[in-house]
Homo-oligomer: A and B are copies of this chain.
Amino acid sequence: MTETDTQAEHQVDTRVALLDVAEKLFSEHGIQAASLRMITQQAGANLAAVHYHFGSKEGLVKEVFSRRLRPLEEERLRLLDACDLSGGIEGTGIEQVIHAFVAPVIRRLRESPGEEHPFAQLMGRVFNEPSEEVKSMLVQEFKLTADRFLDALRLLLPHLSEKELMWRFHFLAGGMGHTLSCRKMIAKFSDLCAGSSPEEMLRYLVTFMASGLRAPATAGSDLQGEPA
């Protein structure tokens, strides 16, 4: 290993180390609460390195997210393209679409075996915490994927109004997001959930959400099941 190699590696390492540590600390303490001093210290870098590599804390935040989201959304769309939608509501197309949406997230959960993957928890935070600027970036990042998945679901569930279709998609996304990002808190409610592998949870999720999506359209005005 030559001296220039070592230097070049150190440069890359600093940048990547900052992203890794930022991701971890953002997920543990929140974006606002994780200071650049904490991040650079744990990454073995200097405080000024953040501004050299990313310009500002905001720049670091954006790169933390897009580094993970870009390949994730790509994989989702690739799996969606492979789905067989010809069976309509009767076929397994709905299960396939749900799987295409959720599995790429689950797969990444498994990448850090034995531990929580920081980004999964961060994804849970992301919709509630960050600045308006980051929020807009995320909506933009998700909008394309969401529209493509909605197209697929519209094809499979033509009996639903556009509005109800949209809500059902958000029920799916919300149920997934909550269960993935709050695994530690869910574990506090029951040891059983704590003992579930991500794959096992995925199977339960697909069953539940597929059945929810297949439900008949909601009647216009009667409040179903409301106690007298």
* A186, B138: Cα distance in complex, Å: 12
B143 pairs with A204, CB closer than 8 A: no
* A134, B145: Cα distance in complex, Å: 35
A162-186: contact bitstring with B at CB < 8 Å (1 yes, 0 no)?
1110111011111111110110011
A179 pairs with B170, CB closer than 8 A: yes
- Shortest beta-carbon distance, A166 to chain B, in Å? 5
7 new A-B contacts at CB < 8 Å, known A98-B225, A207-B215 = A93-B225, A96-B227, A103-B226, A127-B178, A166-B190, A208-B213, A210-B225
205-219 of chain A: CB within 8 A of chain B? 205-218
Total chain A interface residues with beta-carbon distance under 8 A: 78
Whether, in the assembled complex, A196 has its beta carbon less than 8 Å from a beta carbon of chain B, the answer is: yes
Closest 9 CB pairs of A and B: A95-B225, A174-B178, A211-B215, A212-B212, A175-B175, A171-B175, A208-B212, A92-B225, A125-B128
Which stretch from A6-14, A63-71, A76-84 is at the chain B interface? A76-84
Whether, in the assembled complex, A135 has its beta carbon less than 8 Å from a beta carbon of chain B, the answer is: yes
* A115, B94: Cα distance in complex, Å: 36
A167 with B181: in contact, given A94-B225, A175-B175 (CB under 8 Å)?
no
Whether, in the assembled complex, A30 has its beta carbon less than 8 Å from a beta carbon of chain B, the answer is: yes
* A192, B218: Cα distance in complex, Å: 16
Whether, in the assembled complex, A100 has its beta carbon less than 8 Å from a beta carbon of chain B, the answer is: yes
Whether, in the assembled complex, A72 has its beta carbon less than 8 Å from a beta carbon of chain B, the answer is: no
Q: Is the interface of A mostly helix, strand, loop or mixed?
A: helix
Q: Which of B32, B82, B167, B205 touches A204 (beta carbons < 8 Å)? A: B167
- Shortest beta-carbon distance, A218 to chain B, in Å? 4
- Shortest beta-carbon distance, A143 to chain B, in Å? 7
A227 pairs with B82, CB closer than 8 A: yes
B206 pairs with A225, CB closer than 8 A: yes
A135 with B185: in contact, given A129-B128, A179-B171, A225-B94 (CB under 8 Å)?
yes
A124 pairs with B127, CB closer than 8 A: yes
